[in-house]
Structure 1
Amino acid sequence: MGDQIKIVKTTSENKDFIALVGALDKSLWEAYPELKSNYWGNNIIELNPNVVIVYVNDVAVACACFKKYNKDTIEIKRMFVSVEERGKGLAQNMLQELESWAKEKEFSFAVLETLYKQKAAIKMYQKVGYVITDNYAPYIGLENSICMRKHI
């Protein structure tokens, strides 16, 4: 019997989202202790109505959200899949859901930022059509940042 996977649209006030973002931050600070002061402010999520959470067998295992970057572009934020669930396509499923949701709201592009050590994430983003682009604000001049863009 296979796992039961469910993607739920919610807000940043969802307790499962808050817990997953805590796990994301912990993993990032462990991987990049030198960057905490440079990046902390870029990862604060104000009240956000554009959140998705993936549940596997009713357990929250992955999350992501988007926020408006400019009039025709969203920025993908807080993309995280728990270690035990990686490699199963959940991140791609969340991206599809967020991109569809953004298209419904008449956005045309998505941008995102990730860090240079996130090799698997960069490869996955490229696989689904994101291309590396010049760093956008607030990541201009931050050498550890990899910024990507996609027409949705």
Structure 2
Amino acid sequence: MTASSSITISVETPLSDDMRAMIGELNATLGSLTPDEANYSMSAEDMDGPETTVFIARVDGQAAACGALYRHADGIGELKRFYSRPQFQGLGLARRILEHVSELAAREGLTRLVLETGHNYQAARRLYEQAGFSECGPVLDYPESPYSVFYTRPLRAA
């Protein structure tokens, strides 16, 4: 990436070739770090419903990072599928996607964001903690697991 590189973040379909490739990379990475019983991967098709909004960061048009908002009942939004391709890590793309997800959730009147992440995903945990998330017990229907860490953060409606 150069000083003149263009970064865009927008809502896109998870069914594009770009996103399918990134989801495949994400699933392979998580599969190498997390036992099957604690791996909550989603396919592109799983992400293609009205309850999910997928954001993609592009650097000079190339898909570089992604993250999604998954809506649950009772005003709860779940962060899903946050990933930055290795060559784009360190650019703050995940933080910027998280800001977009948070703004959308607040505009829609959601009252709380929650997430599950791996106990050994240090970069992800730093991102969420720096964004004001607090570690908590299991959320939604996730089971207690030594491989999972759960976070929550209240939202104010926009």
Q: TM-score higher than 0.5 here?
A: yes
2:27 pairs with one of 25, 28, 34 = 25
Q: Distance in 2 between matches of 1:121 and 1:136?
A: 17
Provide the TM-score with structure 2 as the length reference: 0.86
Structure 2: 5+ residue stretches without partners: none
Question: Is the contact between residue 38 and residue 145 of structure 2 (CA under 8 Å) also seen in structure 1?
Answer: no
What corresponds to 2:109 in structure 1?
Answer: 106
1:135 pairs with one of 135, 138, 149 = 138
Percentage of identical aligned residues: 22
1:61 pairs with one of 51, 58, 64 = 64
Structure 1: 5+ residue stretches without partners: none
Q: Distance in 2 between matches of 1:110 and 1:68?
A: 9
RMSD across aligned C-alpha pairs, in angstroms?
1.5
* Count of residues paired in the alignment: 148
Provide the TM-score with structure 1 as the length reference: 0.89
- Which residue identity lines up with residue 17 of structure 2 in the other structure? K
- Mean alpha-carbon deviation: is it higher for 96-105 or for 134-143? 134-143
What corresponds to 1:4 in structure 2?
Answer: 6
Q: Distance in 2 between matches of 1:151 and 1:104?
A: 14
What corresponds to 1:88 in structure 2?
Answer: 91
- Which residue identity lines up with residue 28 of structure 1 in the other structure? L
- Mean alpha-carbon deviation: is it higher for 73-82 or for 63-72? 63-72
Q: Distance in 2 between matches of 1:46 and 1:30?
A: 21
Deviation, structure 1 residue 46:
4.2
Q: Distance in 2 between matches of 1:46 and 1:84?
A: 24
Q: Distance in 1 between matches of 2:112 and 2:4?
A: 34
Equivalent position SS for 1:47? coil
What corresponds to 1:47 in structure 2?
Answer: 48
What corresponds to 1:16 in structure 2?
Answer: 18
Residue by residue over 1:76-131, the C-alpha shift from the partner in whole angstroms, topping out at 9 and shown as x without a partner, is 10110001111111111000001111112111211011001101110111001111
